[in-house]
Amino acid sequence: MPINILMPALSPTMTEGNLAKWLKQEGDTVKSGDVIAEIETDKATMEVEAVDEGKIGKIVVPAGTEGVKVNDVIAVLLEEGESASDIAVTPQHAPEPAAKTTDTRPKPEAPKPAPVAAPKPAPQPAPQAAPQAGGKRLFASPLARRIAAQQGIDLSSIRGSGPNGRVVRADVAGAIAGGTAKAAPAAGAQRPATLPGAPSFSAFGEPEFEIIPHTTVRKTIARRLQESKQFVPHFYLTVDCEIDRLLALREEANALSPKEGPGAYKLSVNDFMIKAYAVALKQVPKANASWSDEGIKQYKTADISVAVAIPNGLVTPIIRQAEAKTLTQISAEMKELAGRAKANKLKPEDYTGGSASLSNLGMYGIKSFSAIINPPQATILAVGAGEQRAVVKNGQLAVATIMSATLAVDHRAVDGALGAELLAALKRLVENPAAILI
């Protein structure tokens, strides 16, 4: 019998996702392990592999559909000898028709109209915001409705490609690009329309702008950071570290690397900071913790979530047990994770968990900054650029390379003195980098 292909749960917290792209079409033969679709989750865009073998008999949820619930049927697979006539599936993602209400109460008798001298002209119906063709209900995604309203387009003039003829964003964009979209009935003066990529002006002097729809990743970043600042009591500690010895050790270590081949490496300052932060957390274990309603979670390993910028926002792949790894191991792992992050190829286990976070903007020339804690973690280290500054050594003015590091702390799990102890340990390790190799 036909096999339903369900929307998979690609992470422990996933409840819905966007079906970004189908890589197989109706009639295509698939084998177990073939990549059939791309799903956009709240963390990344991930590939979906076929579990069974057969032929794609029907695509239930088209590409571009947003908010598909986990375990919804997205396609149907036919086994050998089966045909499309064997398929009996109701699209779960399609909007349900409006529920009919049954009123059993007796209806009052309509009053008889009073006689009038002459008939009055019937009032004209008020213009509707979204006319319905033939009196039928129009199915459209919220984003499609918003874009159509902004552009002043009649949605009923657009043929929908979604379940039950649902109009999605791609349908509206295609109608505009193809010139087939019809203008909506005028309903008074409207604000100038906007569309992704199209300029817009405001009668009130607002600058030109364009609307860029939110990705699922961007929505998740916004939600989590807002929750962090609302519910996590942040406080910040900053320390200046002299990194001349660290830079010298880095240069010496890189000079020992083979010029090419599998053993070649190039250590960065960030690699040293990941290692130093992990060792510092092991030296001050009470700070390697997080808050929970049941009690303080104190972690046994320093799993460092490292912020990586990607086109859609920010992800934090994890270097697990960083305190026990060599600098070359951390460097190789970080390069591999960063590359997969930018290619949207991270797996849930690559970014789920972590005991503390590190964010480095030094490569952009940022002197210092304060980062937002990544819940449920209790600390995040913000690393600035190393720069030459005037310092006093033994009562004499001198020049040294100084790097500012700011620790953001969840005051529920880590108190001020404990946070200061952690930063002091970090400073000792950074200024005496040979200690992190022991």
Q: Which residues are catalytic?
A: 411
> How distant, in Å, are the alpha carbons of 21, 72, 313 from that of 45?
10, 18, 12
Other C-beta atoms within 10 Å of 46: how many?
21
SS3 at position 374: coil
Torsion of CA 51, 54, 55, 57, to 10 degrees: -80
User: How many Cα atoms occupy the beta-carbon half-sphere of 263 within 13 Å?
Assistant: 6
C-beta contacts of 245-249 below 8 A and 24+ residues apart: 245/431, 245/432, 245/433, 246/272, 246/430, 246/431, 246/433, 247/386, 247/401, 249/433, 249/434
Instruction: Tell how strand 304-306 and strand 356-360 pair up.
Output: parallel
Distance of CA 206 to the CA centre of its chain: 29
From the CA atom positions of the chain, what is the Rg in Å?
30
The pair of structure tokens assigned to 232 is: 């996590």
- Residues 220, 226, 232, CA angle at the centre, nearest 5°? 120
